[in-house]
Amino acid sequence: MATMNFNTSNQTFRQLLGNGLKYRVPPFQRDYSWTEDEWDDLWQDIVGLFEEDGEPAHYMGYLVLQSEDSKRFDIIDGQQRLTTISLMVLAGLAYLQELVAADLEAEKNRRRKEQLQGSYIGYVDPVTLVPSSKLELNRHNNRFYQTYLVPLERLPQRNLNSSEHQLRKSFLWFRDRIRARFGKKPDSGQAFAAMLDELVDKLFFTVITVTDELNAFKVFETLNARGVRLSATDLLKNYLFSLVGSGDTHENELKSLEEIWERIVGLLGSESFPEFLRVFWNSRNRLVRKADLFKTIRKRINHKNEAFQLIRDLDSSAGIYVALRDPKGPEWNAEEQAALEQLMMFSVRSPLAMLLACYESFFEPDRPGFARILRAVAIISFRYNVICGLQTHEQERLYNDIAWKVSSGEYASSREVISALSVVYPDDRQFKAAFSEKELRTTNSRNKKVVRYILFEIERQRSGKSFDFESVDSSNNRSTAHS
């Protein structure tokens, strides 16, 4: 039987760093970004461990590592926490160095500093002063970390990028807290070393170790489904940028692509990047299940030029995707807005890939045709999904088939799309039968709005008058609130 190439264990900080293992933040992983809020939270948790009624240990969350040889590990998730603890240790080493300079138990504190540095940071070659550290940061942060922080050199204040400034601030912030807590007494070094020696056994992680990106992606998907937010977005970025960064890619090209990537993620906001990626991919390719998305992309995108093109295509489609999820956006006229609002109300996402493909093909040359597609999808969603409650698998397959044919040019008009949609349009007999027996529990906020929408539409058809559903809806909300 095939075995899954990952394992899980609980490990303390001592077990992680207090050995010969080395850790690397992948070159294109996110920069260091923790601020004083996170530093203070961590520090308060640490201080609490040493109070009279303090907890015996502090849980630091998940740490996802990737390794092929169990000696060197890429940090796929958890780099902010691991980096911050390392910065705190370095701040403590700088504090011991100050005690040595002040001739407070100078020889003992020198030995303490060397012992702690060798255990948790790495060593510095005494001749070349080149560090061999246990932790390597990403391409934007590692130079500053290895050149100034690890050897405890004087920290520059100028010509630093924003994340290097954060590394510097974090180091100084923890150094100030350590100074304030332990002071400058003959036994200060011993007290600090004792605290750190105990702390490294009190901080523990759930460590998930995988052998490749595909297993890491599966871990992310599983944990995210359980409410543990890990960043599959970073994993995909690492893979794509590793392709782009190989060979003769110019630094300016990498910088430009990183700006594009950040723009995409910033534009999506609360939207899930993996969900957008799946919608985008299925708008141009045969249907891929969520569980197979990363594997499919890794199989199809394996050259530098393909990675470049994918990132640029994602950039051009991200704004459209966000607009399709925002009926109030300035892009839409009244008819389009109404259809998109209905899709949001019905909580239907399966047509998004098809609508993305249709927008890119028809919105400019045939906007009325695109509006008719939107309206048809809204009607189908109400009949098929809300009232008839039919299976969505076949519906999603049809939507994908249409999207693929639109993107490939096989469907060249909105009329062909609407004709193809007829397959998932419940006829009047089927719809009326389902409608007559439909029950919607209004304890559910979505159902409550759908019921109001149904009653509103019935009244509109019977009276022949045109009402503003949104004003009626908000009025009903106020009435409900006062009843």
Q: What is the pLDDT of residues 427-470, one digit of tens each?
A: 999 999 999 888 888 777 777 888 888 888 887 778 766 555 45
pLDDT of residue 458: 81
| DSSP secondary structure string for all residues of 216-274 | HHHHHHHHHHTT----HHHHHHHHHHHHHTSSS--HHHHHHHHHHHHHHHHHHTTS-HH
Distance between CA atoms of residues 431 and 480, nearest Å: 30
- Distance between CA atoms of residues 196 and 46, nearest Å: 10
Q: Which among 220, 216, 236, 217 is positioned nearest to 228, based on CA atoms? A: 220
Q: Which letter does DSSP use for residue 425 in this model?
A: -
State the burial class of residue 149 (Cβ atoms within 10 Å of its Cβ: 0-12, 13-18, 19+). buried
Burial 217-238 (b: 16+ CB within 10 A, else e): bbbbbebeeeeeebbbbbbbbb
Mean pLDDT, rounded, for 123-142: 83
Greater model confidence, 479 or 227: 227
Contacts of residue 421, defined as CB under 8 A and 6 or more positions apart, other chains included, come to 373, 376, 377, 380, 398, 402
- Summarize the confidence of residues 382-406 as an average pLDDT: 94
Q: Which two tokens stand for residue 67?
A: 């390794």
Radius of gyration of the chain (CA): 29
Count CB neighbours of 470 within 10 A: 10
pLDDT tops 90 at residue 167: yes
53-74: b (≥16 Cβ within 10 Å) or e: eeeeeeebebbbbbbeeeeebb
The span from the CA of 370 to the CA of 367, in Å, is: 5
The distance in angstroms from the start CA to the end CA of the chain is 62
pLDDT for 476 equals: 42
> CA-CA distances (angstroms) from residue 480 to 473, 475, 476, 483?
10, 9, 6, 5
Give the pairing of strands 72-77 and 58-66: antiparallel
Distance (Å, whole) CA 317 – CA 352: 12
For residue 223, what pLDDT is reported? 62
Tokens in use for 323? 């607009």
Cβ distance 119 to 18 under 8 Å? yes
d(CA 360, CA 407): 8
pTM for this one? 0.70
- Written as six digits, the tokens of 313 are 């295509």
**pLDDT averaged over every residue in the chain:** 87
The predicted pLDDT at position 479 comes to 34
DSSP assignment of 5-31 equals SEEEEEEEHHHHHSSS-EEE--TTSPP
Phi first, then psi: give them for residue 8, nearest 5 degrees: -125, 140
What is residue 54's predicted lDDT score, i.e. its pLDDT?
Answer: 85
Beta bridge partners of 97: none
Residue 129 binned pLDDT confidence (cut-offs 50, 70, 90): low
Q: Which ranges in 285-303 belong to alpha helices (H)?
A: 293-300
Pick from 88, 64, 319, 32: which is nearest to 203 by CA? 88
